[in-house]
Structure 1
């Protein structure tokens, strides 16, 4: 089962990389991003869009980690309480 998951993940990454390459090819206008007095690399517009998409996804994932960890911790705590309650009721 692990092999199938890895194969599926590899296929998804390969399709995303191919779609990104096509997207960059269709948006080839050289674009230079500048901000805070700094001039960054000159890359095709498609590359900048994909780069900022990935940065946004990564930041969204990182910012959601605390709430996901809190929900997971509450679920584990509730599960332990239920197991403790179950073992106490079986002992009676």
Structure 2
């Protein structure tokens, strides 16, 4: 554990990392609003991308912040007639 962050995978030669929950990590959207959830983690590779995962974002904030994800989810259940 480094700086209170549990590293699940760390491959320095590949610059790949994955963490468990980082309770002190703050995610801020482009409007300066914090996106709060039940847990946050980071994983990725320097030569590719890093991904931040936020679990448990409450409703209705999730729908307001990520309407495209909500639409894609709802579209799965629409009848394609």
Same fold, TM exceeding 0.5?
A: no
Q: TM-score, structure 1 length as denominator?
A: 0.21
Structure with more contact order per residue of length (Cα contacts < 8 Å, sep ≥ 6): 2
The structure whose residues are more often strand, as a share, is 2
The structure whose residues are more often helix, as a share, is 1
Q: TM-score, structure 2 length as denominator?
A: 0.22
